[in-house]
């Protein structure tokens, strides 16, 4: 919901987080692992106006640690409030133009940003689920988003857009509900995790589980595994950058000193930066959610999903227009993986466009304001309208 604001015209203005709860017993959500789960609450935000025929909806899927706050502001009374995580892309006259489209962004199932996750209260015990929370997949996240769209009366979406794990959700939408999707924009993503990506996720998980405060996931109400979570974030953050970006930003420059300490303090700027990123992350994210979401990403395999899809969801019978975007310096999901996706989709007769953007910022380049990406997405959406 968008409210009046005094912020810049280029912003969607003041927005409000909303919640949708479904899967009340006995009509529980059936997960891919066979478990039945509910109730489920999904936090979401909307921007723009839904057309009378509901034909202008765009679903934006966020990345691993993102949330539903894709654009705008929650308050209008402080100047230093940060806007939504993709405010440069979503808004009036921007790449995803809220003067034309009704944009929805939902926090994923298993997260800790308003949607039901391991830190949510278990209705049977009133205590947080912890590891009693069921293992969820990218497909389960998409099913929860589908339930949200059903509640809004949206039977078809003009586009589904997302980067990284958000891109995985885009691809899962196209396989699971192809009849609902007109066009898809997966950015900086992959059909399946490489051994390298799985390895980094496992290091992050082990750093949390090795923290004594993790307590087998039962840390709510006590000391949290802050050190393990901070280290996990430091590992992940390195994979989001590039060698060139780190060289340009830090090099071997020292942090507030002229010589080495000859100890284990943060001598180098890059050490201090990573420690700072770890501390920031601890203050806003839940360790168990990291465990669940990284595991869901590791399990994801769109080719396997294609093979499992039934005749009603055959992508050969439901043509979707794709725009696939990769970045030259993304070593987490390199361009060769995007090209494999292009080939796979073309073999099924899909309409596929592909663009590799030259950037030295690494995997996170799609989150950095860039007129090239905005114009690319805007042109593609308008061309398929």
CB 31 within 8 A of CB 133: no
CATH of domain 2-193+300-383: 3.40.50.1820
- 69 classed as catalytic: no
Which of 67, 140, 226, 330 is catalytic? The answer is: 330
Q: How far is CA 67 from the centre of its chain?
A: 7
The closest alpha carbon to 40, from 155, 123, 105, 104, belongs to 123
- 7 classed as catalytic: no
- 164 classed as catalytic: yes
Which DSSP helix (H) or strand (E) runs through 280?
helix 269-282
Residue span(s) of the chain under CATH 3.40.50.1820 come to 2-193+300-383
Residues 6+ apart with CB under 8 A from 372: 357
What does the alpha-carbon distance between residue 260 and residue 275 come to, in Å, rounded to a whole number?
18
Mean pLDDT over the full length of the chain: 93
Burial string for 216-254 (b: 16+ CB within 10 Å, else e) reads ebebbeeebbbbbbbbbbbbbebbbbbeebeeeebeeeb
pTM more than 0.85: yes
pLDDT, position 318: 75
pLDDT score of 7 more than 80? no
pLDDT score of 302 more than 60? yes
Sign of CA dihedral 55, 60, 242, 258: positive
Which of 115, 164, 289, 329 is catalytic? The answer is: 164
pLDDT score of 310 more than 60? no
- Residue range 24-44, pLDDT digits in tens: 999 999 999 999 999 999 999
CATH topology of domain 198-289: Rna Polymerase Sigma Factor; Chain: A (1.10.1740)
pLDDT, position 75: 82
- Residue range 243-295, pLDDT digits in tens: 999 999 999 999 988 889 898 989 999 999 999 999 999 999 999 999 999 99
Residue span(s) of the chain under CATH 1.10.1740.110 come to 198-289
pLDDT score of 3 more than 70? no
Residues 6+ apart with CB under 8 A from 64: 164, 165, 236, 293, 294, 297
Q: Between 9 and 124, whose confidence is greater?
A: 124
pLDDT, position 99: 97
CB 177 within 8 A of CB 155: no
Q: What DSSP state is assigned to residue 128?
A: B
Of 58-62, 213-217, 254-258, 321-325, least confident by mean pLDDT is 254-258
Which of 67, 158, 363, 370 is catalytic? The answer is: 363
């Amino acid at each position: 919901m968008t409210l009046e604001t005094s912020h810049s015209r280029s912003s969607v203005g003041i927005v409000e987080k909303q919640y949708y709860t479904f899967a009340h017993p006995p009509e529980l959500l059936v997960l891919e692992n066979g478990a039945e789960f509910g109730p489920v609450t999904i936090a979401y935000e909307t921007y723009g106006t839904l057309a009378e025929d509901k034909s202008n909806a765009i679903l934006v899927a966020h990345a691993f640690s993102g949330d539903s706050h894709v654009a705008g502001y929650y308050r209008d009374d402080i100047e230093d409030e940060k806007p939504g995580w993709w405010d440069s892309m979503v808004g009036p006259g921007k790449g995803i133009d809220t003067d034309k489209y009704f944009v929805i962004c939902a926090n994923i199932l298993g997260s800790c940003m308003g949607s039901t996750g391991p830190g949510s209260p278990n209705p049977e015990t009133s205590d947080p689920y912890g590891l009693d929370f069921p293992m969820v997949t990218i497909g389960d996240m998409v099913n929860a988003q589908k339930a949200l769209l059903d509640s809004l009366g949206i039977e078809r979406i003009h586009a589904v857009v997302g980067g990284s794990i958000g891109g995985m959700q885009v691809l899962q939408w196209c396989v699971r509900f192809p009849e609902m999707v007109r066009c898809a924009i997966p950015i900086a993503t992959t059909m399946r995790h490489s051994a390298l990506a799985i390895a980094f996720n496992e290091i992050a998980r082990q750093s949390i589980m090795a923290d004594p405060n993790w307590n087998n996931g039962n840390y709510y109400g006590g000391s949290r595994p802050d050190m393990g979570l901070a280290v996990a974030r430091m590992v992940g953050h390195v994979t989001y950058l590039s060698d060139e970006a780190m060289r340009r930003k830090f090099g071997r420059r020292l942090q507030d000193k002229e010589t080495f300490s000859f100890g284990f303090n943060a001598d180098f700027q890059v050490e201090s930066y990573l420690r700072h990123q770890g501390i920031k992350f601890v203050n806003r994210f839940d360790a168990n959610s990291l465990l669940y979401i990284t595991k869901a990403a590791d399990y994801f395999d769109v080719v396997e999903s294609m093979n499992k899809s039934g005749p009603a969801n055959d992508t050969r019978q439901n043509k979707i227009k794709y725009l696939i975007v990769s970045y030259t310096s993304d070593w987490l999901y390199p361009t060769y993986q995007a090209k494999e996706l292009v080939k796979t989709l073309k073999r099924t007769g899909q309409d596929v466009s592909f663009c590799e953007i030259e950037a030295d910022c690494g995997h996170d380049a799609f989150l950095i304001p860039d007129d090239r990406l905005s114009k690319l997405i805007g042109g593609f959406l308008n061309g398929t309208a």
